[in-house]
Every structure is written in structure tokens, then in C-alpha cells.
A = this chain, B = another copy of it.
Amino acid sequence: MRTMAKQADAQQAATERRKPLNRDRVLRAAVARADQSGIEALSMRSLAQELGVVPMALYKHVANKEQLLDGMVELVVGEIDPPADGPDWRSAIRERVLSARRALLRHPWALRVIESRGTPTPAVLDYLDSVIGTFRGGGLSVDLTHHAMHALGSRVWGFTQELFPASPGDEPGEQAAALQAMAARYPHIAEIAMARAHDGASVVGSGCDDQFEFEFALDLLLDGFARLHERGWSSGQA
């Protein structure tokens, strides 16, 4: 507190919120809120409140909620590492996809938003374009690259859709009981779930899409692409 403290303080309350509140601040606040409260808790109203501002104020910085979501996606996709250059397309793709995974792991809502968005944003296109470029740079044909991208599907984002949406961790006892009940009706699911529960350590909570699962599938596909590439595969034949 220095001279003119009173005046400064008085102004501060006004000033603090008067700090321009540009588009970027809005987007970052939105990302933060979605990160910690989930995407469904993000409304224009709640976001405005968090920024100490009336809802309509946001519309001076984003056209509407759709554009807000697009902006958030841009931010998240911007966190993905740039492509590694090198002769080895296989590991370049691998690294890139795993980097995407890390980014989207930090913002669990992001994949769903990306996928639900009607039109891909520029950052999304940039990312896809550069992944494709890596395939092409590695010598894969346009044809094979095209199909490879489709085969990867949403996996280019580092995720495969969870089959079981990861029930938020009840205490383990309860979970075991639920499993017991399921075993009668869904024996095969239970068998697999049991086996998984065995490992224990390596699994985060009850989620099953851990790093290993993802890399298993990714490598299976990359192996497949490599094999087809070696054989000069083209969609004309088998």
C-alpha cells in the first residue's frame, strides 16, 4: 500500500475487472473451467460469472457459444508438439499421435468437442495435414495414406472411444461386488474385467484405456500400414 492507497484500492476493484478481457482471456478461462468442472458445466452464464462480468459481455469477444468452443479447441490443439522430422515415418507418426494424446489427456473434454464440431477448425486441419504429410514424406502412396488416415480414425487424436465410460472410482470392495453380479449375466465381459483387475498397479483407477491399450492398437495399425507399404499395396487389389 503506498500513497493514494484509498484511491488506488477503490479503483482496483473496478480496474481489476476492467482489464480488457480480450478474446484470449475468455478462451483460456473457458478451457480452465472445462478442465476442472467438465464441459457440461461450461455455460456462457457460468463463464461470465467466473470472469466477474455479465453474460452478454462475452459476446463482445466471441460471436456465440459455438465459436467459443472452436476457440477452445484451437488452444488445445495448439498444445500438440510439432512434427519430428526424420526419415522414419512410422515413429514420427507414433510420437506425434502420442503427443496429441498427452494434450487431450490434459483436457478430457476436448476430443468430444472436436468430434461434435460441424466443421474442423484451422488448427485441426493443420494437424491433420501435417500427419498426412508425414505419411507421404515417408513414401506411402496417396492411396494408402488415405486409407491409413481413415483406419486411424479418431485415434489420430490419441484416443479410442472408451467402451466402458470409466465408472468414477467407487471403493474397490463395491466394484468387486458389482463385478460379481455382472459375471452371471455377462460372463465374458466379467472374465476380461477380472483379468485386468489382476494387474492392478499399471492401471489408473478403473479406466482401461491406459497407455498400453492405446499403444497396442496404434502399433498394430502402424505395423499393418508398414507391411502394406512394403508390398506396394494399392486399393485396386486385395
Contact = CB atoms under 8 A, between A and B. Distances in A.
Interface in A97-129: 112, 115-120, 125-126, 128-129
Interface of A: 112, 115-120, 125-126, 128-130, 132-133, 136, 142-143, 145-147, 149-151, 153-156, 160-161, 163-165, 167, 182, 185-189, 191-192, 195-196, 208-209, 212-214, 216-217, 220-221, 223-225, 235
B163 A149 contact: yes
B133 A216 contact: no
Contacts of A208: 150
B188 A132 contact: yes
A220 B188 contact: no
A125 to B, nearest CB: 5
B192 A146 contact: yes
A119 to B, nearest CB: 7
